[in-house]
């Protein structure tokens, strides 16, 4: 007789793993137990013959429940304790090894079939779930994942559900913690704009009826509230935009199924696989020309953000909405976190909704919908939330001490780290708002408590920008705990994040960071950087950047790109020429104060000293306003996004050697020179021959020229250096399909291979991973 203690880490709680172990051990006549442990791991004790235990371990690896992801298995053999049976024991609060907290999982086909079956007791039940699907992280107060540690503790099981819970042969519900039914589970209610409860037989069907009549309805979902409305009615979409004060930012739309999606967007196998995955993110895909969706859902864009229902509630609601298509956008006011409570819904959402479909299950942890797009043929995360968070990412080495990373101010995501693991928070938001900053600290505290990471012995990692709010929050944590503070340069962190994401570390790599803003080592604002990275040695060197342009430093330069365009043009034109150009092309009206603002900006640019900027984000913004594509930024990245959309279907019409003229070298440092590009664009525009088709060609040509010039710079800096053949790209602008595809194609002929991150967004939503990785580069290793 032998015995083995087996501890398994990964996504092993809340996925039916313990019941599967129970059935396997019982089938092999093994004795012992299985139980959840407080670090999100599972402990197994088996007693039996040596051969039977070996067979148990072999089958354990091959017969896992669908959502399970094994990270590690630790096995210790010892003396038997004389167990008489195998059982599922009560969970243990302590930790043996740290493991993953399960993310929320989309509605499975079995649960959907039950909801749609009139003979099933869960027919039309909005909260149906099983061991393979349903809420997890969003309803967890703490670990281990047991019902009493989740929002479902408010709903004791009825006799029928309790029978399923105790039945070992019920594969999907035996010891499944979140199960319920209409008799014992959460309940829906419908309220009007004064929060009066409406006495209706079926709140869900009534909500769909109201949406079909043109009303706007707030819907409490899994990780927060949505705002639902008809997506196919121009008047309704315009009404929603007016109420939310959201002039152009696109809305996400939920479609019932893949057949419906195919009427809205162009689909291929890759897109279908992501749309139907367990994560069920919003996916940005090319619009069909004959789409029934209103043009006001995503004005000026060539892609639509679509996703499929991931809860029974969403499925049943959309199924009753005309065309089986609905706007399903985040329920929040501008720059505020998505509402998760009834208090927030009453205070915030009633300002622009007519009704609220809510329920009595608490949303414990806010989790925004994840967003994915395709860049250069690859799926790339834009927002990492539901379905992905809080899965961890492994480091190439072990940290010597725990760490907390505060991320950046835009697209904020924080992180905690220990051993060789980095746990990124879900998407937090824009830190300019107090509620968002409070959310960041809330979830940092949640993860440090769950994983038992004392702040006083941790390293706090922040961005180098002296004015970042994330840095201020990090300094506050240091002051409160006595922890050590480490600052990391923004673009170095971007490239390290891609490096770790792709499982690389040792060697010398070239990184290409493209974004809007990052504080540089020289005190200027960087944003188009070619770096030589030696992560294992903790070194980086700036080999190239975009030619600096002067900036007033005002936030208005970002909101109204016609202001920063003056700076770009002043590198080769005098102010009177720029003024004439602005008047002729109608750019002067893109300045809110017209000619007086033009003169004010010009006067500021004539003063010394001035902030200098090497940002590709500002370059793309300036091209967008010069071509008349976008004159004001109403949401993050709007001018650059619309420039890319305008360029789709264009052809190259500029000088074939333009990209070569855009590469200059000074004292061994290469620069991307924008002057030749602007000269050509101005010449074409001043001739007055730029019709709509020509604008598309100019937009496309500009992006291709930038991509070719960047590739040429990479080739030049790589020449004569011993480097790895991978070019690591990071930063928000690398999602531009035309630029990145051009860089990739140009470098492929030189046997250099462009890598984008896969598990994290390339934008600032992934920068916390790079901040933690910098500690390895800085020698903070075990």
Q: Mind telling me the catalytic residues?
A: 18, 36
Using CA atoms, how far residue 257 sits from 260, 325, 395, 762, in Å, is: 5, 9, 37, 29
CB count, 10 Å around CB of 260?
A: 18
Asked whether the beta carbons of 740 and 734 are under 8 A apart, the reply is yes
Q: Which of the 8 DSSP states describes residue 1?
A: -
Say how far apart CA 112 and CA 316 lie, in whole Å.
10
Rounded Cα gap, residues 306 and 298, in angstroms: 11
Q: What is the DSSP letter of 209?
A: H
Cα–Cα distance, 185 to 148 (Å, whole number): 14
Distance CA 503, CA 712 (A): 26
d(Cα 129, Cα 118) in Å, to the nearest integer?
Answer: 17
Count CA within 13 A, CB hemisphere, residue 169.
0
Buried b (16+ CB within 10 A) or exposed e, 205-242: bbbbebbeeebbbbbbbbbbbbbbbbbbbeebbebbbe
Q: For the packed helices 561-569 and 675-686, what is the interaxial angle rounded to 10 degrees?
A: 110
Please name which of 368, 337, 408 lies closest in space to residue 765, comparing C-alpha atoms: 408
Q: Is 383 left (phi over 0), alpha (psi -120 to 50) or beta?
A: beta
Give the residue among 152, 164, 554 at the shortest CA–CA distance from 363: 152
Give me the count of residues in the chain.
Answer: 782
Q: How far is CA 293 from the centre of its chain?
A: 25
Write out the two tokens for 365: 């942890």
Asked whether the beta carbons of 511 and 533 are under 8 A apart, the reply is: yes
Cα separation of 221 and 312, whole Å? Answer: 10
Q: Which residues fall within 8 angstroms of residue 313, CB to CB, at 6 or more apart?
A: 126, 127, 188, 204, 219, 221, 359
Rounded CA separation 147/13 (Å): 12
As a three-state string, the secondary structure of 346-405 is HHCHHHCCCEEEEECCCCCCCCCCCEEEEECCEEEEEECCCCCCCCEEECCCCECCCEEE
- 403 CB-near residues (< 8 Å, 6+ apart): 415, 416, 417, 418, 458, 459, 460, 461, 772, 775, 780
**Residue 467: count of CB within 10 angstroms of its CB:** 9
């Amino acid at each position: 007789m032998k015995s083995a203690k087996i501890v398994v880490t990964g996504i092993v709680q809340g996925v039916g793993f313990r019941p599967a172990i129970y059935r396997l051990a019982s089938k092999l006549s093994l004795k012992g137990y299985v139980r959840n442990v407080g670090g999100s791991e599972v402990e197994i004790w088996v007693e039996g013959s040596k051969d039977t235990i070996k067979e148990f371990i072999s089958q354990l690896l091959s017969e896992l429940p669908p959502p399970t992801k094994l990270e590690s298995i630790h096995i210790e053999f010892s003396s038997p304790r004389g167990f008489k049976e195998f059982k599922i024991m009560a969970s243990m609060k302590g930790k043996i090894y740290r493991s993953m907290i399960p993310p929320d999982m989309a509605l499975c086909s079995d649960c959907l079939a039950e909801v749609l079956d009139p003979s099933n007791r869960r027919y039309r039940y909005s909260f149906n779930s099983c061991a393979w699907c349903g809420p997890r992280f969003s309803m967890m107060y703490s670990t281990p994942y047991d019902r009493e540690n989740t929002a479902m503790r408010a709903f004791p099981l009825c006799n029928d559900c309790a029978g399923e819970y105790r039945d070992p042969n019920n594969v999907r519900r035996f010891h499944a913690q979140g199960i319920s039914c209409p008799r014992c589970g959460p309940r829906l209610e419908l309220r009007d704009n004064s929060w009066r409860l409406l006495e209706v037989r079926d709140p869900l069907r009534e909500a769909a009826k109201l949406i079909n009549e043109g009303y706007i309805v707030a819907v409490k979902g899994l990780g927060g509230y949505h705002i639902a409305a008809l997506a196919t009615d121009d008047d309704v979409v315009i009404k929603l935009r007016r109420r939310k004060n959201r002039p152009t930012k696109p809305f996400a739309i939920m479609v019932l199924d893949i057949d419906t999606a195919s009427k809205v967007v162009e689909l291929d196998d890759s897109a279908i696989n992501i749309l139907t995955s367990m994560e069920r993110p919003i996916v940005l895909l090319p619009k069909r020309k004959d789409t029934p969706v209103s043009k006001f859902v995503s004005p000026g864009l060539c892609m639509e953000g679509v996703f499929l229902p991931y809860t029974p509630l969403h499925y049943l609601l959309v199924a009753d909405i005309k065309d089986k298509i609905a706007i399903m956008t985040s329920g929040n006011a501008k720059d505020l976190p998505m509402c998760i409570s009834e208090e927030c819904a009453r205070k915030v959402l009633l300002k622009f909704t007519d009704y609220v479909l809510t329920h009595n299950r608490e949303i414990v942890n806010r989790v925004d919908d994840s967003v994915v797009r395709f860049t250069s043929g690859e799926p790339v995360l834009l927002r990492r939330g539901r379905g992905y968070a809080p899965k961890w990412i492994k480091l190439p080495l072990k940290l010597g001490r725990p760490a907390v990373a505060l991320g950046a101010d835009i697209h904020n995501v924080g992180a905690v780290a220990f051993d060789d693991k980095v746990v990124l928070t879900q998407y937090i938001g824009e830190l300019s708002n107090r509620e968002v900053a409070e959310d960041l600290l809330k979830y940092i505290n949640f993860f440090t408590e769950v994983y038992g990471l004392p702040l006083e012995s941790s390293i706090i990692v922040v961005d180098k920008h002296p004015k970042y709010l994330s840095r201020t929050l990090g300094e506050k944590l240091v002051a409160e705990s006595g922890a050590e503070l480490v600052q990391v340069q923004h673009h170095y962190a971007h490239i390290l994040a891609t490096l770790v994401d792709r499982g690389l570390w040792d060697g010398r790599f070239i990184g290409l960071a493209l974004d809007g803003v990052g504080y540089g080592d020289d005190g200027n604002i960087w944003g188009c950087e070619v770096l030589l990275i030696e992560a294992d040695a903790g070194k980086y060197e700036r080999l190239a950047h975009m030619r600096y342009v002067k900036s007033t430093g005002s936030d208005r330069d970002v909101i109204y790109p016609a202001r920063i365009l003056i700076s770009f043009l002043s590198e080769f034109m005098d102010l009177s020429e720029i003024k004439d150009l602005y008047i002729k092309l109608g750019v002067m009206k893109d300045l809110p104060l017209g000619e007086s603002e033009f003169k004010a900006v010009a006067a500021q640019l004539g003063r010394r000293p001035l902030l200098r900027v090497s940002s590709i984000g500002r370059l793309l913004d300036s091209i967008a306003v010069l071509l008349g594509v976008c004159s004001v930024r109403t949401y993050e990245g709007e001018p650059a996004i619309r420039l890319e959309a305008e360029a789709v279907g264009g052809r190259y019409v500029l000088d074939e050697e333009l990209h070569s003229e855009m590469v200059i070298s000074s004292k061994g440092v290469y620069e991307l020179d924008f002057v030749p590009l602007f000269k050509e664009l101005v010449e074409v525009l001043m001739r007055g021959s730029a019709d709509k088709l020509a604008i598309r060609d100019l937009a496309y040509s500009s992006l291709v020229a930038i991509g070719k010039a960047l590739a040429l710079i990479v080739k030049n800096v790589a020449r004569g250096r011993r480097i790895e053949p991978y070019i690591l790209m990071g930063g928000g602008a690398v999602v531009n399909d035309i630029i990145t595809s051009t860089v990739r194609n140009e470098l492929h002929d030189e046997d250099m291979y462009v890598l984008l991150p896969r598990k994290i967004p390339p934008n600032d939503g992934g920068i916390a991973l790079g901040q933690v990785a910098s500690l390895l580069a800085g020698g903070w290793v075990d």
